[in-house]
C-alpha cells in the first residue's frame, strides 16, 4: 500500500469524467487500498480515485469518528437514484480544496447501487452525512467540485486561496 498525493484545484485532472471499471480484480483492490491509506493520511472521510490521479469510477468512504471502529465502504461504478425532494444544507469541505468550507444543499436521502470490494452488487439508502458524502464523491466522478455550486466570486476566491497555500507549501518544502 502507498500514500499518494491528493490533487488540488486548479489541477485540470479534477475536471475529468471518470471511466467505468471493467472488473473488480486484485489490481483494482490495490488501488482501493491506496485510496484508503491516502484518505486516512489526509484526515478525510471520503475519497474519489481521480483525487489521486486515477480517472476511474471508484470511491472510498469511512464516516467513523476517531474514537469509533473504522467503517470502510468501497464503491465501484456507483449509481445514485431516488433522490429525496427534501434538501438539507451541510457545511462541506474537500481534500482537493483544502481550508475552504461552505454550505451546500443536497437531497437528504438517496439510493446508491454499486459493486463492493469483492465485486458483489449492493443497493442501499444513504441518509444524513452518508448521503452528503456519497453525493460529494459522485460529483468527483463527473469532474464536479463542491465549489462549483458557489458563486463565481466565492469559487475564484477558493481557488486563489488554495493556490497560495500550495505555493507556500512548495516554498517550505524547498527550505
Ligand atoms: O473529508 C471530507 N469531508 C467532507 C465534509 C463534508 C462534506 C464532504 C466531505 S468529503 C471530504 C473528503 C473529500 O474531499 N472527498 O472527496
Ligand atoms: Ni472532495
Identify the CATH number of the domain in which residue 139 sits: 3.90.45.10
Closest CA to 103 of 171, 170, 149, 62: 149
Task: Please tell me the residue having the least CA distance from ligand 1 atom 7.
Answer: 92
Tell me which residue range forms the domain holding 87. Answer: 12-174
Strands annotated E in the chain? 46-48, 58-62, 72-81, 87-92, 102-107, 109-115, 121-127
b/e sequence 72-88, b meaning 16+ C-beta within 10 Å: ebbbbbbebeeeeeeee
Q: Is residue 67 part of a domain?
A: yes
pLDDT at residue 153, rounded to an integer: 98
Query: Is 3 among the domain residues?
Result: no
Query: How many angstroms separate the CA atoms of 51 and 24, rounded?
Result: 20
Dig out the grid coordinates for 120 from the structure.
458483489
pLDDT of residue 37: 98
Q: Quick one: pLDDT at residue 1?
A: 83
**Of ligand 1's atoms, which has the minimum distance to the CA of residue 104?**
7
H or E segment and range at residue 150: none
93-124 pLDDT per residue, tens: 999 999 999 999 999 999 999 999 999 999 99
Q: Judge whether 166 lies within some domain.
A: yes
What's the whole-model pTM score? 0.98
CA distance 60 to 47: 5
Q: Looking at 66, 69, 121, 137, which residue is catalytic?
A: 137
Q: What is the pLDDT of residues 43-97, one digit of tens each?
A: 999 999 999 999 999 999 999 998 999 999 999 999 999 999 999 999 999 999 9
Residue 129 located in a structural domain:
yes
Closest CA to 29 of 5, 51, 56: 56
Q: How many domains does the chain have?
A: 1
Asked if the structure places residue 91 within a domain, the reply is yes
Pocket lining for ligand 1, CB < 6 angstroms:
44-48, 51, 92-96, 132-133, 136-137, 140
| CA 15/CA 155 separation, integer angstroms | 14
pLDDT, tens digit, 9 for 90 and up, residues 27-52: 999 999 999 999 999 999 999 999 99
Question: Is residue 99 domain-resident?
Answer: yes
The answer to whether residue 92 sits within a structural domain is yes
Examine the residue annotation and report whether 137 is marked as an active-site residue of this protein.
Answer: yes
Q: Is residue 7 part of a domain?
A: no
Amino acid at each position: 500500500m502507498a500514500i499518494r498525493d491528493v490533487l488540488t484545484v486548479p489541477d485540470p485532472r479534477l475536471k475529468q469524467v471518470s471511466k467505468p471499471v471493467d472488473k473488480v480484480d486484485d489490481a483494482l483492490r490495490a488501488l482501493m487500498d491506496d485510496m484508503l491509506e491516502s484518505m486516512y493520511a489526509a484526515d478525510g472521510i471520503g475519497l474519489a480515485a481521480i483525487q489521486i490521479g486515477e480517472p476511474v469510477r471508484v470511491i472510498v468512504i469511512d464516516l467513523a469518528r476517531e474514537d469509533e471502529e473504522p467503517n470502510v465502504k468501497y464503491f465501484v461504478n456507483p449509481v445514485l437514484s431516488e433522490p429525496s425532494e427534501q434538501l438539507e444544507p451541510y457545511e462541506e469541505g474537500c481534500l482537493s480544496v483544502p481550508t475552504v468550507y461552505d454550505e451546500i444543499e443536497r437531497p437528504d436521502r438517496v439510493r446508491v447501487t454499486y459493486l463492493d470490494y469483492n465485486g458483489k452488487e449492493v443497493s442501499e439508502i444513504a441518509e444524513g452525512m452518508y448521503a452528503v458524502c456519497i453525493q460529494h464523491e459522485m460529483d468527483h466522478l463527473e469532474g464536479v467540485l463542491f465549489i462549483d455550486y458557489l458563486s463565481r466570486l466565492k469559487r475564484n476566491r477558493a481557488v486563489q486561496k488554495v493556490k497560495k497555500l500550495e505555493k507556500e507549501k512548495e516554498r517550505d518544502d524547498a527550505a
